[in-house]
Each structure stands twice: as C-alpha cells, then as structure tokens.
Amino acid sequence: MPKFVFVTGGVTSSLGKGITAASLGSILAARGLSVASLKMDPYLNVDPGTMSPYQHGEVFVTEDGAEADLDLGHYERFIDRNVTRASNLTTGQIYSAVIAKERRGDYLGATVQVIPHITNEIKSRIHRVAREAQADVVVVEVGGTVGDIESLPYIEAIRQFRNDVGRQNVLYLHLTLLPRTVGGELKTKPTQHSVKELRSIGIQPDVVIARADEALNEELREKIALFCDVKIDNVISEPDAWSIYGVPLMLEESGLGRIVTEELGLATPEPDLRAWRELEERIRSAKIPLEIGMVGKYIELHDAYLSVAESVRHAAWAAGCDARLRWIDSEKLERDGDVEPLMGLDGIVVPGGFGYRGIEGKVKAARFGRERAVPTLGLCMGMQCMVIELARTALGTDDANSTEFDAFTPHPVIDLLPEQRDVGEKGGTMRLGSYPCVPTEGTLAHRAYGQPIVLERHRHRFEFNNAYRELLSSRGMTFSGLSPDGRLVEIVEIPDHPFYLGTQYHPEFRSRPNRPHPLFTSFIHAVLEHARANGRAVVTPAVMQEAR
C-alpha cells in the first residue's frame, strides 16, 4: 500500500505550497523512495491551456501532452522524475467526468451529488497517480486556501481518504503564514484560525509548516503546537530561503523528512543529499555576472516565463555564472521605437506566447540580436519571430508575417498546421507533448545535443511554411532540426553568428537544476564569450559584495 501526504495551505495564497511539496518529494526520493506528485486545482477550467498567463502564470507541458499547472515543473525539477497528465487534476476535469458517467447511466439512476460522486471521482484520480507511478509515496498538493468554497470537495475527499486507506497510510501537512505586525512581531493567530478552519471540516493536521520572513523561535513553535494540537517536533519553521533550491536542505535540517517517514511508518536509509549540496555550492559560487534580456509581453508576472528563467539559471550556474535577467516589455519595445532597453545585453531570450500583442517588439529584439551579433535564443513564438524578421529583410517588406497575427499576409512564412485548419475548440487541440527532432549534422544544434535524435515538448498551432525554405536558406538561415520525415522545421539557426538559434518546441521543460538542457548550456557559453569579448563578465569587488 502506498503512502499519501496531503499538502494544504492556509492564511493566504502563493505561500509556496508547490515548492514545499516538491522539496518534500525530493528529500523522500533521497531516501530511496519512489515519489509521485499530484496537484489538485479547484478552478472550473479543464486545464490552464486557455487561461491568460496573468491569471495563472506559465502553462507547463508534460511528456504526454497535458497542459498543466506550473507546479508540475517544480515537481519535475526537484524530484527529477517526469510527471504525466494524471498529475494535474482540476474541478473542470472532475465535473466533466462525473457528468459523462451520469449521461451514460453509470450511476444507475442515483441522484448525482458532490458527496459521494464528486469526492469519489477525486479519490479515484489520487489512486490512479499512485497506481500508474507505482509509487511508495504520493505527495498531493491541494490548490487554493483552506476556507475557499471551491476547495471544499477536495478537502472532503482527502478527509475521507484516511478512513479509506487506513490512518497509518495518510499524513496531513498544513502550510501557513506568520505575518508581521507594524510593531515587527510575528503573529500566530492567523495560523490558529487556519487550522481551526481545517479541523472544522474534519482534518487535524499532523504537521504544520510555518512560513515567515525569519526562522521561528522556540516560543512561537510551542504556541502553535499548543493551540493547533500538533506535536512541537511537528511544527516546522520555513523562513524565506536564499533560493528555492535551498528549501529541500532547509526542510531536511528541520527534520521534516524524518518526521514524515516516522509518521507513515517507513523504514528508510539516511538520505543521500549530495546532489543538492553540490547544487547549493554551485549556486553560491557562481559569481561571473551575465546580463540576459528576457523579451516578453507578460513580464509583469515573471511566473509566466518560469521554466525559461530557471533553465537559463541552471545553465549559468553550471558555467560558474550569475544570470541577471533584464525583463524587457516587448509591447514597450514595439511602441517606443528604440532599442535602448536592449543595449548592453550579453544575451537575448525571446520566449513563447500567443496572439499579436507585442509581436513587433519581439521581432525587433530578434533583429537586434542578429545584426549586432548578440547571442539570441528563440523559443516557440520566439523562433517564429526570428523567421519573420529574416523573411522581412530578405523580401524587403514588412508584409512577411504569421497568419496568427495577420490572416491576409501576402507572405505567410508561419502558417497553420494543415490538421489545425478545421479545429473549432481552442483547449487541448494544439500540437502538444513530446515529439522527435533530428538535428542536422555539423550544426550548432547537433553539437549542443551530441546525439542523432532528441525528444522535445511542443505547444503550438502554427508552423514554419516550407515554401520559404529556399528564400531563407539563401539569406544564411540553416534548418538544423527537422521532424523525422523532414516535413516540419523544428530548429533554425544562422551559422555565421556567435549564437542565433530558435526552436519550435520548448526545451525549457526538460531542464533540471543538476542537469541543464544542452541548448541552454550552449547558449550560456556563447553569452559568456560575448560578455568577455566586450569587457564584461568581470567579478569586481562590488559583485563579490553583492553576492555575499
């Protein structure tokens, strides 16, 4: 029988449940346990694929083509295990499944209700994750905040779960916030009320993790233990960390791994956390400053580009560098008409997105990178903007475009996939998930990967128009990665450039903190060379002081 850890949150949203759940998974995996993860989101959307990044942040794509919550990216990066579509559950999925069963008559004429039908469906999905992953432990994160009306079916389902599988097989972990008053005092009262709310629904937390801007003293831990009816050893302090990648070691030092395994009756060896300690040392010793521009249209919410930013950092740390991201608004770049925000950059990343807004700013960034020999990496729409920019230069007209942005462009260098032309619904109908790509020998892409075929994750509806291959080839663009049948362009690059490469897919979804993605590694090496050639990338006393 697998064990189940349910992570709930109280007091406020955005406390870091995803990081905490992922960190717990990592320290359990370090004990030799097989860990599976599940995020339960209480919104009615079937998935976040049709949601604005301002509403939800990044949409993470799994190997099997699910558009999922960004916390699944944390799970993969921290536990170093690919998740599947089963690892993200939404209210939209649950109600769709239940209504479909009702229409088929599966409930044999019963009145369909939240209890037991909705809660049973939720529980069956939890069991499905454990079964598919053959996991020793399933870490389940319940989205939202305790007390939210939309989260109640999930809270009720996990309450029932302990009775279904046995008390010894379930542990409830509650994450709360200790706010600081104007006078500077940390207050436990919101935590007390949050636990009271949880208990009123029928769940007594076994572990309380208290988030604060500094470590809790013994007096505060004793107070939480007393008023929340939790063993004092099971009150864990989780202060603000120097990096999200410092959280696993911090929680292990606080005893969380030992507490969870003991509470669940798991006999495990001492954790092997050498990889995390090596990562910590690598991050702390990365001092060479690199200024990298992230050119996007959702930059007010950095979570919209979470995996891209983390992938840049992973590769930078491995090279001993501190990647300093300069967030550049592509709409402002388009509107203001100058390239001042791009000046002084060591590298440029143009990430993905949808819709015409801010596109001309991304095209301008691509042109700046190409003409000024600044290392430039384009991802999905970023790659398409590289193609549009070069096509405009080759044709001598700004009419070259994607039919996504201009349906009547006379030069559709980016166009719909044939199978996408008659698609009516938007959600879940793109080219999604892992597909093979064959890097062309002798190219930058092939040197970076060092292998004849790779699998990468896609999330797009529009493709390069092959009618323009010859034109762009004549202007120096190499199509350095193709689908196995040669029909679809996956990678473009310009060989006569320090680094100018775009991918139709999203390599950022496969990067790991201890194993950076090869394309990001190659990009960072080019960025470092460019910075050095321009008298930058120098570790000055000021940089050392800032690092400390």
Active site residues: 380, 506, 508
CA 1 to chain centre: 30
Rounded CA-CA distance 323/282 in Å is: 13
Q: Which residues contact 165 (CB under 8 A, 6 or more apart)?
A: 1, 4
CB 363 within 8 A of CB 450: no
Matching residue, tokens 């993200």: 88
Cβ proximity of 480 and 444 under 8 Å: yes
For 543, counting Cβ atoms within 10 Å of its Cβ (0-12 exposed, 13-18 middle, 19+ buried), the class is middle
Spatial strand order in the sheet of 400-402: 400-402, 411-416, 462-464
3-state secondary structure of 421: coil
Q: 530 by DSSP, 3-state: which?
A: helix
Per-residue burial over 158-176, b if 16 or more Cβ lie within 10 Å, else e, is bbbbbeebeeebbbbbbbb
Q: Give Cα 97 to chain centroid, integer Å.
A: 26
Residue 157, SS3?
helix
- Residue 145 token pair: 């905040």
Return d(Cα 18, Cα 461) in angstroms, integer.
Answer: 29
How many Å apart are CA 33 and CA 2, to the nearest integer? 11
* C-beta separation of 59 from 67 below 8 A: yes
Please check whether residue 376 is in contact with residue 350, taking contact to mean a CB–CB distance below 8 angstroms.
yes
Structure tokens at 317: 């740390």
**How big is the chain, counted in residues?**
548
98, 117 contact by CB (below 8 A): yes
CA 233 to chain centre: 32
- With tokens 């032309």, the residue in question is 421
Residues 6 or more apart from 105 whose CB is under 8 A from it? Answer: none
Going from the C-alpha of 386 to that of each of 328, 350, 351, 377, 449, the distances in angstroms are 17, 9, 11, 9, 21
